[in-house]
Amino acid sequence: MGIRITGTGSYIPSIIEKNEDFYNHEFLNADGSTINSSNEVIVEKFEAITGIQERRYLKDNLLNSDLAFFASKKAIADANIDKETIDYIIVAHNYGDVKHNNEQSDTVPSIASRVKHLLKIENPKCVGYDLLFGCPGWIEGVIQAKAFIASGIAKRCLVIGTETLSRVIDKHDRDSMIYSDGAGAVIVEETNDDSGIIAHETATYALDEAHFIFFGETNHPEVTDKRRYIKMFGRKIYEFAITNVPKALKSCLDKSGISIKDVKKILIHQANEKMDEAIVKRFYKLHDMQMPEGIMPMTITTLGNSSVATVPTLYDMILKGELDTQEINKGDIIIFASVGAGMNINAIVYKH
């Protein structure tokens, strides 16, 4: 018996925001002071560190729950299942439905209930709930789905990662260039072979790290509204991630009993190209190995950081043949991994 992903789907918004589109922004330091660099230099340094050249934003008339619905329809079709047989809808997000030019996030009813409504699922025993777990939310949703299925509580779950970070960014903050929108969804269910989830690892560091990512005021001192925006301490997050994520990956792989030499792909949260590369290099260094070429597929260059959506959209795009030179074949061992607000870390060793 295995518990595996049997269908995938994703939704990538159509609006492309390129780095040069930020040349006319008024970027300020966190204290409101002027940055002593031109926007061209700021953007150039940003791209060199993050690898991001462009990102995707949703259209003004759409909501986070819409993106989740679009991705879910594709995953259900890909799995070739009856939507009425879904036992749980687990939606990972962080900011709910934020309407265009609206200061307030809307989380009642839950995004999961909204997705169930949009899918027109009639079965009342199909239970929907939201999961707030920072960027690792989708992976944690898959871990929870596995637990439900293994315990006999459920047979089939829909797990979604969806976010519209363009609705919660401060245009006066350089970090606003990181964030993007998107959604990815999967069907998780029991199968008769040995494929699927082999091992998982989850950790929360909240003693000193809880507020590395937070909601804060705009950097512009003359803006008087009370709206809050996504903020972060980038250097602290970088140091935390490269120190703790490699160890979590090793612990998860050790639990699985799989040799690192058998790992074909590591699908890591698309947070920052340099940071992700440092994490995976350190993971291999823990095994006295060099990071293999092509082991870490990336979409951040063109899609930016869409939080919970980065890993499921990356997975779906590879399976659908939409990433050049990247493929996942039957029986391949892959690792899903993420780090984000909480600070949370998780990983799954998975046999495709």
Q: Kindly report which listed range (11-20, 124-133, 164-173, 213-222) carries the lowest average pLDDT score.
A: 213-222
Tell me the pLDDT tens digit for each residue of 308-318. 999 999 999 99
What pLDDT is recorded for position 193? 85
C-alpha gyration radius of the chain: 20
pTM of the predicted model, to two decimals? 0.94
Tell me the pLDDT tens digit for each residue of 189-228. 998 888 999 999 999 999 999 999 998 888 787 787 778 8
Tell me the pLDDT tens digit for each residue of 330-345. 999 999 999 999 899 9
Q: Show contacts of 143-151: CB within 8 Å, 24+ apart.
A: 143/197, 143/200, 143/202, 143/346, 143/348, 144/90, 145/3, 145/88, 145/90, 145/188, 146/3, 146/188, 146/196, 146/197, 146/200, 148/87, 148/88, 149/3, 149/188, 149/189, 149/190, 150/3
Q: Kindly report which listed range (25-39, 190-204, 280-294, 301-315) carries the lowest average pLDDT score.
A: 25-39
DSSP track, 319-344: HTT-STT----TT-EEEEEEEETTTE
Mean predicted confidence (pLDDT) in 296-323? 96
Strand partners, 127: 88
What pLDDT is recorded for position 32? 82
Answer whether residue 182 shows pLDDT above 90. yes
On whether the CB atoms of residues 162 and 96 are closer than 8 A, the answer is: no
Return the structure tokens found at 291.
């990071």
CA torsion angle 207 213 215 221 (round to 10)? 110
Work out the pLDDT band at 113, boundaries 50, 70, 90: very high
Environment class of 72 (CB within 10 Å of its CB; exposed 0-12, middle 13-18, buried 19+): buried
**Domains of the chain with bracketed CATH:** 2-193 (3.40.47.10), 198-351 (3.40.47.10)
